[in-house]
């Protein structure tokens, strides 16, 4: 049985979760905790390859379109490797794992965004991740309006870039991101014990203060 503490960060592209994760890691380390930071897709040699494949904006043109189920299966292939090589060993060693995205992203993007039935994602999670759930999920959810504005800015930037890049998802339009946003809200409403949603457009500092107090409380109650 895992002894450590498993925390995931979730949110739309550009929600600031990566910045928040890094700051939280530094804060926890300064308090003597042993922390492992990782991300999905990625974080293992196999996962980094899956990541560069899935996030490459040329992929759709090169392949004639990626089947949503193929995308789903690749996300779970990445996750299986991450669980085996990074997450479970770190938890077994009593560490705090901070993971940038996990199965909630699959529910939000592949189910909410792409329309794959939620039951399919859930079944794959049970099979492939053996149901491993985070102890705590920090969901950064600024208003839909500012999330869309941010996604659009990234999208515009992506359109001006050439060659291999990590913008494939950021090229999606507002309708896609609205569905992803709604799926995230549904997850937070369904699992309030696990998912702490930070739903305002506060500054990086203010969001970090909220993140720290939620984490401190949960670690204290462990
Ligand atoms: P990430 O690097 O976290 O993007 P950002 O830093 O822009 O937030 O994630 C890469 C992309 O992969 C992101 O657009 C969401 C997508 N994704 C899925 O569609 N399904 C998944 O299961 C995961 C883990 C990520």
Please check whether residue 207 is in contact with residue 213, taking contact to mean a CB–CB distance below 8 angstroms.
no
How does pLDDT run across 7-19, given as a tens digit for each residue?
999 999 888 899 9
* pLDDT tens, position by position, 125-147: 999 999 899 999 999 999 888 88
Model confidence pLDDT, tens digit, residues 39-63: 999 999 999 999 999 999 899 999 9
Ligand 1 centroid to residue 66 C-alpha, Å: 16
The Cα–Cα gap between 222 and 181 comes to: 30
Taking the centre of ligand 1 as the mean of its atom positions, its distance from the CA of residue 55, in whole angstroms, is: 8
Tokens of 209: 């203060």
User: Ligand 1: distance of its center to the CA of 166 in Å?
Assistant: 10
End-to-end Cα separation, the chain, in angstroms:
15
Instruction: Give the per-residue pLDDT at 171.
Output: 82
Question: Which pLDDT score, from 0 to 100, does residue 156 have?
Answer: 72
Q: Which residue has the higher pLDDT, 201 or 124?
A: 124
Q: What is the pLDDT of residues 173-221, one digit of tens each?
A: 889 999 999 999 999 999 999 999 998 889 999 999 999 999 999 998 7
Look at ligand 1, atom 4, and give the residue with the nearest C-alpha: 13
Token pair belonging to 69: 């189920």
Span 5-221: which CATH code? 3.40.50.300
From the CA of 18, give the closest atom in ligand 1: 6
Q: How far is the CA of 117 from the centre of ligand 1 (A)?
A: 19
pLDDT digits (tens, 9 = 90+) for 148-184: 887 777 767 766 765 546 788 888 888 999 999 999 9
Q: Round to whole Å and give the CA distance between 70 and 115.
A: 13
Q: What is the pTM of this model?
A: 0.94
In this prediction, residues 90-94 reach a mean pLDDT of 97
What pLDDT shows up at residue 152? 73
Ligand 1 contact, 114 CB (< 6 A): no
């Amino acid at each position: 049985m895992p002894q450590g503490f498993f925390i995931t960060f979730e949110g739309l592209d550009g929600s600031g979760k990566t910045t928040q994760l890094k700051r939280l890691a530094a804060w926890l380390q300064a308090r003597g905790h042993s922390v492992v930071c990782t991300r999905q897709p990625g974080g293992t040699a196999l996962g980094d390859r899956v990541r560069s494949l899935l996030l490459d904006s040329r992929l759709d043109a090169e392949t004639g379109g990626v089947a949503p189920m193929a995308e789903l299966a690749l996300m779970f292939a990445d996750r299986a490797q991450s669980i085996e090589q990074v997450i479970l060993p770190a938890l077994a060693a009593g560490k705090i794992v901070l993971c940038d995205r996990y199965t909630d992203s699959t529910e939000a993007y592949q189910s909410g965004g792409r329309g794959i039935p939620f039951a399919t994602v859930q079944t794959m999670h049970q099979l492939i991740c053996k149901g491993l759930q985070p102890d705590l999920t920090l969901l950064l959810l600024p208003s839909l309006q500012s999330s869309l504005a941010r996604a659009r800015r990234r999208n515009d930037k992506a359109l001006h870039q050439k060659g291999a890049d990590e913008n494939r998802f950021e090229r999606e339009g507002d309708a896609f991101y609205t569905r992803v946003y709604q799926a995230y809200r549904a997850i937070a409403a369904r699992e309030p014990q696990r998912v702490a949603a930070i739903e305002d457009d506060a500054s990086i500092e203010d969001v970090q203060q909220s993140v720290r107090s939620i984490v401190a409380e949960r670690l204290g109650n462990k």
